[in-house]
Structure 1
Amino acid sequence: MNFSKEFSIASKLNIGPEHPPIVVAEIGLNHNNDEEIGKKTIAAARKAGAQAVKFQSYVTEEFIDIHNPEAKILVDIFKKYELSETMHKKFQKTAEEEGLIFFSTPLCISSLNLLINLQVPVIKIASGDVTNKTLLSETAKSKLPVILSSGAADFFELSRAISFLEKEGTDKLCLLHCVSIYPTPPEKANLKVVETFKNLYTFPIGFSDHTAGSIAASVAVSLGACMIEKHFTLDKNLNGPDHVISANPEELKSVCENAFISWKMKGNGGKKPWPEEINGRFFGRRSLYADLKGNPIALRPDLTQKDTKYLDSWETEKTTFLNPRPGKPFHV
């Protein structure tokens, strides 16, 4: 595949295994179509440590059959939270003032075109649109980086979507492991999928986290996730469909901090002692001492050693040329 192994968003955020994980605060519908709530939520995301905020963009009539009586509940909900172009611009401006990347998930072609006109630096494809060939095609034509979520999808559907995006011209892709259960119980998080994706693909892998708390995000980073997306709300008690399952500011702060710590803890995979370890060897390892007959015996740490040169029990042949007193260590 010709996807980039790493890439940047707006020349600001680098996504890839060699860079710290990106945390995206998924505000989604949690703005309540209220300018003040939306702006406060963006500011809270920045304060918690997120690097980007994401919304959902749509025209209700374009992705739901409003003439179907059985869809009335959905129509009413989505219509209530449908963002106007003006509100998009206000939230985008606020995010930029806070130093955050602003982007969104388009659920229809009109909203995709709106986001392109707003010059967002990346497009997120929702799990539900992995099978939406038209939206995938139009997104690829934008030549923008794509974040693809994978909830409820199998390998065939994902492979088909990924290959199609590549064929249509997308060269920057981040694939998110996702479980579309809200909230996701620990036993169904299936975080080893992050590792599976990482072994299958060379492009960046992330995790759209629908579990409670910050443990899953930290584990995902340790397995190779370069991006964490977490639903975020200013207050879980606000009215709306997603607030109760979203992280509040304190919880998002924990996600951000622990994700970064997990990334630092991964190391480079090479087994080589740190200088601090080497300097402590004289105490932790047994040195060669002379027994009563002058023969070498590994007995105890050599506390008289002033440097890192020592003899261990694999090097008894070297003691032939060293003649310590009984009970004394063989110094190099």
Structure 2
Amino acid sequence: MRIGERRIGPGHPPYVIAELGVNHDGDRDRALHLVNAARAAGADAIKVQWFEADRLLSRAARLARYQEISGASDPFDLLRGLELDPGVIAEIVEQSVAAGLATIATLFSVDHVDAAVRCGFDAFKTASPDVVNRPLIDALVATGRPLLVSTGAATLAEVEAVTGWLGAHDHVLMHCVSAYPTPDDMACLAGRAAMCRINRNALGYSDHTMAQDTGALAVAGGACVLEKHLTLDRTAPGPDHAMSLDPDGFARYVRLAHRAHRMLGAPTKAPLAIELDVREVSRQSVTARCELPAGHVIAPGELTLKRPGGGIEPSRLAETVGRRLARPVAANTPLRDEDLA
């Protein structure tokens, strides 16, 4: 599948998404600054969250623990202060396109789908809580644009169900742990393997750890898409800043992920061109202990194994004993097939 101009999947470089999330703090200028920072750090795409507190929250809504720790006291007040005006979102898309970045939007309501399509987003995403929100997923599939689906806190049965809803639509399941931040020993990178058994599409990792090398580890495990929160200041007040990476940290995150991809290589086992010299020099060959005349039948004690390779391989030592020589062989010389009658 493709997002924008980039092809995504096994064998292709990792696709790194800079999640702006709510780290703009509802401020237009900060949001646009984040776009520039994402580009400079080497991201392939930016992602915004499109929500309205009044559409998303009921009277029963409460804060998550990590939001309380950040100093928030009321979920409505928190989210209202982090909303982006649709006009600002359109500006973010425009600036991202100018910077050569693809654009992705996480939507939380079917009410925003049409407006998001008009904005020109390259792809859409559902947040982990909406892995069971079939009306939203169906509406996003109907747009025809690629869909990323986060699976934090989901059961394997729920992942299997959403895979069925998605069908043949271009999509990426994003392995995720819904803890902000995610401790290293809870990252569960091996969980991707369970999803591989029920979904053959490209898989990704939505990374909420505070580490800079988790993306590289995920790529080594087969992740094709990475999503990481970007902030301009990790010490800023707000629910997500502390667990995000600043521009320098994000740039290193991208570099490590791409290095991991380069180190993976192809899923085959064959001698590489850079190995051939060492292979020939350091392997051993069946070698004559003494001078042997043409027509001689080789006796057991007349052969040994020595470097270099390129002659009869050591695995054929036993079968070479008893063979007649087609030509003379000098002492301490590797035997070749053409030496045998």
Is TM > 0.5 for Structure 1 vs Structure 2? Answer: yes
Mapped partners of 1:37, 1:122: distance in 2: 23
Amino acid at match of 2:51: Y
Q: Please tell me whether the aligned partners of residues 296 and 319 of structure 1 are also in contact (alpha carbons under 8 angstroms).
A: no
Map 1:243-322 → 2, pairs under 5 A:
243-292=241-290, 295-299=302-306, 301-302=307-308, 309-316=310-317, 317=320, 320-321=325-326
More displaced 10-residue stretch of structure 1: 191-200 or 113-122: 191-200
Q: How many residues align?
A: 315
- Classify 1:83/1:325 alpha carbon distance in 2 versus 1 (closer, same or farther; 3 Å): same
Whether 2:6 is the aligned partner of 1:8: answer no
Mapped partners of 2:30, 2:249: distance in 1: 18
Deviations 1:269-292 (A, max 9, x none): 221101221222232212333224
- Classify 1:330/1:276 alpha carbon distance in 2 versus 1 (closer, same or farther; 3 Å): same
**In the alignment, which of 308, 317, 334 is matched to residue 329 of structure 1?**
334
**In the alignment, which of 21, 24, 32 is matched to residue 14 of structure 2?**
21
- The aligned residue for residue 151 of structure 1 is 152
Mapped partners of 1:70, 1:202: distance in 2: 37
Amino acid at match of 1:326: A
What secondary structure does 1:311 align onto?
Answer: coil
Q: 1:243 Cα shift? A: 0.6
Q: Please tell me whether the aligned partners of residues 59 and 110 of structure 1 are also in contact (alpha carbons under 8 angstroms).
A: no
Mapped partners of 1:215, 1:150: distance in 2: 21
What secondary structure does 1:130 align onto?
Answer: helix
Amino acid at match of 2:28: E
- The aligned residue for residue 3 of structure 1 is none
Amino acid at match of 1:84: D
More displaced 10-residue stretch of structure 1: 280-289 or 27-36: 280-289
More displaced 10-residue stretch of structure 1: 247-256 or 53-62: 247-256
- The aligned residue for residue 172 of structure 1 is 170
Mapped partners of 1:197, 1:284: distance in 2: 43
Scaled by the length of structure 2, what TM-score is found? 0.85
What secondary structure does 2:248 align onto?
Answer: helix
**In the alignment, which of 17, 24, 30 is matched to residue 23 of structure 2?**
30
More displaced 10-residue stretch of structure 1: 275-284 or 173-182: 275-284
Map 1:104-123 → 2, pairs under 5 A:
104-123=105-124
Whether 2:90 is the aligned partner of 1:96: answer no
Mapped partners of 1:313, 1:131: distance in 2: 60
Scaled by the length of structure 1, what TM-score is found? 0.88
What secondary structure does 1:229 align onto?
Answer: strand
Whether 2:49 is the aligned partner of 1:56: answer yes
Q: 1:184 Cα shift? A: 1.4
Q: 1:322 Cα shift? A: 5.2
What secondary structure does 2:237 align onto?
Answer: coil
What secondary structure does 1:254 align onto?
Answer: helix
What secondary structure does 1:53 align onto?
Answer: strand
- Classify 1:68/1:195 alpha carbon distance in 2 versus 1 (closer, same or farther; 3 Å): closer
Mapped partners of 1:70, 1:188: distance in 2: 24
Mapped partners of 1:123, 1:69: distance in 2: 25
- The higher radius of gyration belongs to 2
Q: Please tell me whether the aligned partners of residues 184 and 212 of structure 1 are also in contact (alpha carbons under 8 angstroms).
A: yes
- Give the fraction of aligned pairs with identical amino acids, expressed as a percent: 28
Q: Please tell me whether the aligned partners of residues 47 and 105 of structure 2 are also in contact (alpha carbons under 8 angstroms).
A: yes
Mapped partners of 1:86, 1:219: distance in 2: 38
- Classify 1:70/1:237 alpha carbon distance in 2 versus 1 (closer, same or farther; 3 Å): closer
Q: Please tell me whether the aligned partners of residues 288 and 303 of structure 2 are also in contact (alpha carbons under 8 angstroms).
A: yes
Amino acid at match of 1:106: L
Mapped partners of 1:68, 1:151: distance in 2: 22
Q: Please tell me whether the aligned partners of residues 322 and 330 of structure 1 are also in contact (alpha carbons under 8 angstroms).
A: no
Mapped partners of 1:161, 1:111: distance in 2: 21
What secondary structure does 1:224 align onto?
Answer: coil
Amino acid at match of 1:284: S
Mapped partners of 2:62, 2:181: distance in 1: 25
- Classify 1:159/1:281 alpha carbon distance in 2 versus 1 (closer, same or farther; 3 Å): closer
Map 1:63-102 → 2, pairs under 5 A:
63-65=56-58, 67=59, 73-102=74-103
Q: Please tell me whether the aligned partners of residues 16 and 44 of structure 2 are also in contact (alpha carbons under 8 angstroms).
A: yes
Q: Please tell me whether the aligned partners of residues 149 and 171 of structure 2 are also in contact (alpha carbons under 8 angstroms).
A: yes
Q: Please tell me whether the aligned partners of residues 289 and 328 of structure 1 are also in contact (alpha carbons under 8 angstroms).
A: yes
What secondary structure does 1:237 align onto?
Answer: coil
